[in-house]
Structure 1
Amino acid sequence: MAALGLDSAESAKAALPDPTADENGGEENDVKVDIKRGMDTATFRRVGKQMVDYVADYLENIGDRPVLPNVQPGYLRDLLPGAAPERPEDFEKVMEDVESKIMPGITHWNHPNFHAYYPSLNSYPSILGDLLSSAIGCVGFSWIASPAATELEVIVCDWMVKAMDLPSHFLSTSETGGAVIHGTATESTLTCMLAARERAIKDWLKEHPESGYFDAFSRLVCYSTDQTHSMIVRNASFIGIEIRRLHLPEGRTSLNRKEFVQAVEEDKAKGRIPFFVCGSFGTTSSCDFDPVEEIGPVCMSERIWLHIDAAYAGAFLFCPEYRPLMRGIEYADSFNFNPHKMMHVNFDCSALFLRCVEDLFDGLKEDLLSGLKLMKIFKEQGIPDYRHWEIPLGRRFRALKIWFVLRSMGLQGLRKSLRHHVQMADHFAERMGADPEFEVLTKSLGLVTFRVKDTDAVNALLYNLICDDGRIHLNAAETGNPPTYYLRFVCTSHAEQKDVDFAFDVIKSLTARLRSRRLSLSEVQAEREKMLNNLAQQRRITSTG
């Protein structure tokens, strides 16, 4: 025994402190806590009802709070203890700290004066769906892990295909296609890039059997424009692939066929393998639309994976009048939109629709089962094992909150919300367009881009004044070559006409204050530097979409 080191192990074990004693010498048996649920059922019923009231009061009266927090980086560390509590605390004390310490540091995304980024709408039905999903607590990586979680996801995805009039090859009942719910568009796009990579390498090796996998890998190149969401650059970096960001000329914010074909031909002449392009239905800066009906046929003939990022604008397909914006969607190998933006489904929730699921299986391949075998099982049984459809193996029951929203609001309710969103943006654009002080650059769905008729430095100063003022929240961007600096104003279903008018009046009054100042050269240079820093920070923030 001694030779095995068991004597020393027993000695070390004897030297260990009593595991039931805390650092103050007390016994854990004296701690009044439910180790099964964290609190007893009676307490949960009481504080749970209080939490529902708190959430309802918060959302009902959110306009009474400042949309932006007035805190400095690191504020919370000074307010909270440096270590977790040893003894349980009353939940009432926790909620007191929520209101006094957490809420002052919250940017309120569902505030009627929030006009930045793109919306992240929620709703009571979605909150309730998430509550129930949390209570169920399943990790639905396979059908047997929770059959209802898998099957409801298949059903709600098929509902969305039909309600949005997406191509029928995205249906689970189609010959090759299907859909899955991920967390974010970044995750969905990365998944598709992995699938496209493996498909392209397989095709190359069939035609060039003398080549090797890593030789083919090194030749791969994917495409986007400088207006495509920054996630495409991150994802290309993650998987070690070269990306060509096609820079658009002044006055244009979407790709055209000629530029795309030229880039593809240049790369093929250099021995590269064009394998993936990300088309945008609603670019981040201006909500422009890449002409997929022009580049789609090129992708099909060259066997380039065409992915459509419609994170924001995709939900508008629920409304028939906006479907012409999506011309060419039938060419897409994959289509992705975020219900957590405009569908009143709270974050996170991103729906991915695929033309050929087998390609996805090959891209996320495991040693146990081939993509062909997984595809055969899926299509014969009609039931997927969703762990093979994404990068994480564990997954949440996200379909439940979509189901709650679709049943509680109905398609008519969703369409009404989307149309209101556009109507409010139309109203803001009319106010801006009627004022000689401003120029409206673009108006697309719920996004209006505008600027003061002056230099970039003056517009940057206006933006900084808006941020410092804090009554409304929007953000800025720059596009073109040379770049033009402008402000973005996004409307949500939370904003009514009076809120849009209030935002316009704030912008107008701050512009008047700006005009009353005369900037020196040093001030202009300082504002330019501040503008660039703000843009860099925004890019870091929006790259998490």
Structure 2
Amino acid sequence: MKCNITSSKLQFPSNRTEYDTGSQCSTLFDFYFTKENKHCAMDSHDFTYWGRRMIDFITHYLQNIHKYSVVPNVEPGYLRHLLPDQPPEQPELWADIFDDVEKYILPGLCHWQHPRFHAYFPAANSMPSIMADMLSTALGCNGFSWAASPAITELEILMCDWIGKLLVLPEMFLHSSGIGGGVIQSSASDCILISMLAARHQAVERYKHLFEETNLSDSKIAVLSRLVAYTSKLAHSAVEKASILSFVKLRHLEVDEDFSLQGETLQNAIKEDKALGLIPFYVCATLGTTSCCSFDHLKSIGKVCRENSIWLHIDGSYAGNAFICPEFRHYLDGVEDAWSFNINPNKWMLVGYDCSLMWVRSTKALTECMVVDPIYLQYEHAVKAVDFRHWGIPLSRRFRALKLWFVIRIYGASGLRKYIRTFSETPVNIIPSFECEWILSTEFYEDPLEFSSRNHS
């Protein structure tokens, strides 16, 4: 296939079955992909040929994934006995690499896209998402600042607003409001940690004046030692890990008969801790707990947080994608009292990992504790541009918005809703009815909800 360069745009012929990588479009490409240039032992012809083979390999794998055993039959360290101890000194053939993937790698995988995979959480992927990741890797750009790659930043802004509008988030959570906005993080754990760090900074600045007369040399340390966060006994372990990394206390609160955390329970805990001289500063409410997909009572929790000036974060990583369907949106009622909120499109929105969306009601509240601005990262338009390096811990950032853009455009909002409804309307019975009574009566059966609650007691 030959491409003609006109006004810096590649114009492709309508017949896309041809793959002639002619010299007209290979100047920059072949600089990096020639055997004479030591960057890589592939030229553009090799890349085209083996790239097509890779597409065929992926397609064949996904079409035949049901033939694999869901869980691999291997022991820890299995791969060390199959691959060499030392890296190869000389280049190897792509054909051999493909063979080794099939012989050694696939048998050691837990096949998350398998139709009988029911472990952990949903991890739906799609062809548009795969293609976006291919393109993102090929572009090889880094989006830590607007100047580093303007399109990466601006598409991420738009995609966060797109999803925010599908979720019917309050205007303040959108970039278009000029107040808050969204960002793509690598995981829900990152979202929770970052929100807790921002809440901690906010609390330290708010209360440090109360301890200026103490014997402690730093009033900020005095505040930090008294901070306490709250979450449900059924909340994800990421909340506990965030509290450890943030050096703050965490209380796991009891849930009601519906496995939901209520505002009254939270209020009582806050009252107890204030009497002990502690400073409540953060609450993580969960919409769709990992153990049983229960929903904390957001409205009553939000009211308590608002009245006590506490940062409320909503973890919707498990079920939050469903809120793009109007019939499920009521679970998010009360979000207006939250300071931050996250969902995981890489679980239920046909977007491959990693892609966790986080929204904040105040950009300033999030970034105040994150800004480090060395001179070598400064640029002309920094004052009016968004730099997502200030919205999280890493500096380097992948072009993750690309797969959201591809997936949303290919499926449309209606297609995504249809996909979610397909699962929500399909009854799931893991245990066949004729076996259910027998299994439940044995000593080996344990209620997962009871186990999860006991594990946090």
Output the TM-score relative to the length of structure 2.
0.86
Amino acid at match of 2:445: N
Aligned equivalents of 2:161, 2:247: Cα separation in 1 = 34
Aligned equivalents of 2:258, 2:234: Cα separation in 1 = 10
User: 1:302 maps to which residue?
Assistant: 308
Of the three residues 421, 436, 446, the one matched with 1:438 is 436
Amino acid at match of 1:454: S
Other structure's SS at 1:348 match:
coil
Deviations 1:138-166 (A, max 9, x none): 11110110000000000011111111211
RMSD over aligned CA atoms reads 2.4
Aligned equivalents of 1:40, 1:52: Cα separation in 2 = 18
Q: Which moved more, 1:200-209 or 1:328-337?
A: 200-209
User: 2:264 maps to which residue?
Assistant: 258
Aligned equivalents of 2:452, 2:187: Cα separation in 1 = 30
2:143–2:152 CA contact under 8 A, matched in 1: yes
User: 1:85 maps to which residue?
Assistant: 88
Amino acid at match of 1:477: P
Change (3 A) 1:325 1:438: farther
Amino acid at match of 2:334: G
Other structure's SS at 2:359 match:
strand
Mapping of 1:117-516 within 5 angstroms? 117-210=120-213, 212-248=219-255, 251-366=257-372, 381=384, 383-424=385-426, 426-428=427-429, 435=433, 437-438=435-436, 452-455=439-442, 457-459=443-445, 477-479=448-450, 483=454
Deviations 1:296-327 (A, max 9, x none): 01101111110000002111011111111222
1:204–1:216 CA contact under 8 A, matched in 2: yes
2:233–2:453 CA contact under 8 A, matched in 1: no
Other structure's SS at 2:203 match:
helix
Deviations 1:25-68 (A, max 9, x none): xxxxxx96752344211111100000001111111111111111
Amino acid at match of 1:363: C
1:172–1:178 CA contact under 8 A, matched in 2: yes
Output the TM-score relative to the length of structure 1.
0.72
Change (3 A) 1:197 1:324: same
1:182–1:349 CA contact under 8 A, matched in 2: yes
Deviations 1:63-106 (A, max 9, x none): 11111111122111111111111110001100100000100011
Per the TM alignment, residue 120 of structure 1 is displaced from its structure 2 partner at its CA by 1.0
Aligned equivalents of 2:117, 2:192: Cα separation in 1 = 27
Aligned equivalents of 1:191, 1:482: Cα separation in 2 = 26
Structure with larger Rg: 1
Deviations 1:85-131 (A, max 9, x none): 11100011001000001000111101111111111111000000000
Amino acid at match of 1:438: C
1:73 counterpart = 2:59: no
Aligned equivalents of 1:482, 1:316: Cα separation in 2 = 25
Other structure's SS at 2:368 match:
helix
1:52 counterpart = 2:45: no
Other structure's SS at 1:453 match:
helix
Per the TM alignment, residue 482 of structure 1 is displaced from its structure 2 partner at its CA by 7.7
Per the TM alignment, residue 459 of structure 1 is displaced from its structure 2 partner at its CA by 1.5
Amino acid at match of 1:230: S
Question: Which runs of 5 or more residues in structure 1 are unaligned?
Answer: 1-30, 370-376, 440-450, 461-475, 484-534, 537-545
Per the TM alignment, residue 427 of structure 1 is displaced from its structure 2 partner at its CA by 4.7
1:280–1:289 CA contact under 8 A, matched in 2: yes
Deviations 1:144-201 (A, max 9, x none): 1000000000001111111121121111021421110010000111111110000011
Other structure's SS at 1:222 match:
strand
Per the TM alignment, residue 453 of structure 1 is displaced from its structure 2 partner at its CA by 2.6
Per the TM alignment, residue 394 of structure 1 is displaced from its structure 2 partner at its CA by 0.7
Other structure's SS at 1:283 match:
coil
Paired residue total: 414
Aligned equivalents of 1:436, 1:60: Cα separation in 2 = 32
Aligned equivalents of 1:324, 1:93: Cα separation in 2 = 54
Deviations 1:193-214 (A, max 9, x none): 1100000111102455445111
Aligned equivalents of 2:41, 2:352: Cα separation in 1 = 25
User: 1:110 maps to which residue?
Assistant: 113
Amino acid at match of 2:149: S
1:33–1:88 CA contact under 8 A, matched in 2: no
Amino acid at match of 1:351: L
Change (3 A) 1:367 1:202: farther
Other structure's SS at 1:438 match:
helix
